[in-house]
Amino acid sequence: MTMQLLEPSLEAFQNPLSRYFAATRPAFLTASLMASLVGLAIARHDGIAFKPELAMLTLLFALLAHAGVNVLNDYYDALNGTDTQNTGRIFPFTGGSRFIQNGVLTLAQTRNYGFALLFCVALAGLWLMLRSDPQLLYIGLAGLFIGWAYSAPPFRLNSRGLGELCVTAGFLLVTVGSDFVQRKGFSSAPFVAGLSYALLVTNLLYINQFPDCKADTAAGKLHWVARLDVQYARWGYALIAALAYAWLLSSVVLGWLPVLALLAFLALPSSVKAARLLLCHAAQPRQLGEAIKLTIGAMLLHGGLLGLALILSKGNT
């Protein structure tokens, strides 16, 4: 059994700044940070003149968007009751931030904070659009819609079995948008480069749904882990991981990515070990803490090595 961290309390977050910062679940924002770095790296690889000030604001844009989505997801999961009745959670990985349930923030404060973050995202996006190209608006609107509609009614896309697609598309949009700001136009390159990483991020959502499954089902969040018998659902993780690494290999073989991108395969052992742990313990989800950590490690290692490979092989395919 993995030792869990203490859940948040009002006593632990007397400082409002630390309270609101922690409510964004900052450790998970690294997923967007890495997606953005992959986008910047593919632009650099393609010989696009690098603009540091735009890159920094792009990273901030991605982090603010992810933070806003995290906060609003807590709000909507509190409204539908899933986090309140979640007794199988593995904190801090699953079951939400617990800020509402433990009285650190109220429902209204969480809602207002989430929308305030998205308002800041809109302002940053408008500035980037003016410095880059008006078509960036399409990427921004698509990303904000996916992040909001993932858990918000009436769409509640995750409850309809579309959560995995939302996460893949959302993080791929971060990569595409980061490339777009530098390139000032659309290209297939960031789609190719970002898909394997986006799929590995999707596996974090997928494995996190096992500890939350009972509460999610009771609240009507019928994602695929809730819809399928656990003996079948557990194979979804291996399938998503296989698609990620197969895409990366195919992209190198077809010449879409440089050979050095195969460095990202160093994350494969962590994905395999996590998959094996899930296959063994899917029916005992409280034992999945180590598998979740391995999933996070594989995701970040894959993205970091892929970005580094793209930069080191600039101009060569």
Non-local (6+) Cβ contacts of 317 within 8 A are 255, 256, 257, 258
Residue 62 lies in a domain: yes
**pLDDT tens for residues 242-251?**
999 999 999 9
Q: What is the pLDDT of residue 40?
A: 97
Length of the chain: 317
Q: Domain containing 211: what range? A: 24-312
For residue 159, give the amino acid letter.
Answer: S
pTM of the model: 0.95
| Bond prior to 153 in cis (omega within 30° of 0) | no
Residue 117 lies in a domain: yes
Whether the CB-CB separation of 256 and 246 falls below 8 Å is answered with: no
Residue 12 lies in a domain: no
Residue 3 lies in a domain: no
Q: What is the pLDDT of residue 314?
A: 74
Q: Which has the closest alpha carbon to 104: 127, 85, 141, 78?
A: 78
CATH number at residue 274: 1.10.600
How many structural domains compose the chain?
1
Residue 1 lies in a domain: no
Residue with structure tokens 């690098």? 50
Measured CA to CA, the distance from residue 277 to residue 15 in angstroms comes to 39
- The H-assigned helical ranges of the chain are 16-22, 30-45, 52-80, 107-131, 136-149, 163-183, 189-218, 224-227, 230-233, 235-253, 268-281, 289-312
Residue 298 lies in a domain: yes
Residues of the chain with pLDDT under 50: 1-3, 317
Residue 163 lies in a domain: yes
Residue 6 lies in a domain: no
CA distance readout (Å), 48 to 182, 197, 293: 7, 22, 35
Whether the CB-CB separation of 281 and 287 falls below 8 Å is answered with: yes
